[in-house]
Amino acid sequence: MYGRLILVGAAIASLAACRPADTATGTPAANVTPSFVTTYAPASPTSETGNQDDTSGYVSRFRREFPDQADGKTDAQILGDGEADCSDMAASWKVVTPSMGKRYSLGSSTADQAVLYNIALLDMFALCPAR
């Protein structure tokens, strides 16, 4: 129970770091960085999607951890799905979105939702911070 709460808390904190908060006046807080947010220096990309080592590591880990969802997909498709996951999570401020369920052909069963949360965590910690 406590482990799940810690994972959800970490996921929320990661999502919060993806998009700047709005101020009380409704204008984006572009130059305001809270002291608890870690900032990342942009990596020098070796491909269109970022550092080649990071992306190949993500793809190999995805294939290892989610063989059913990776079956029949190319590395580029897996990477594209992960990038789409990051965009969906940042846009909706949710860890798991309905579009992710459709993307991986998973439903709303408890087992499917657990797989989606695990995919989201892999995305957030391996792919999304590099964006």
pLDDT tens, position by position, 83-115: 999 999 999 999 999 999 999 999 989 999 999
Check residue 41 and give its pLDDT. Answer: 41
At 60-72, the pLDDT tens digits run: 999 999 999 999 9
Separation CA 63–CA 87 (nearest Å): 21
The per-residue pLDDT for 20 is 47
Between helix 2-16 and helix 110-122 the angle, nearest 10°, is 50
Coil/strand/helix, residue 38: coil
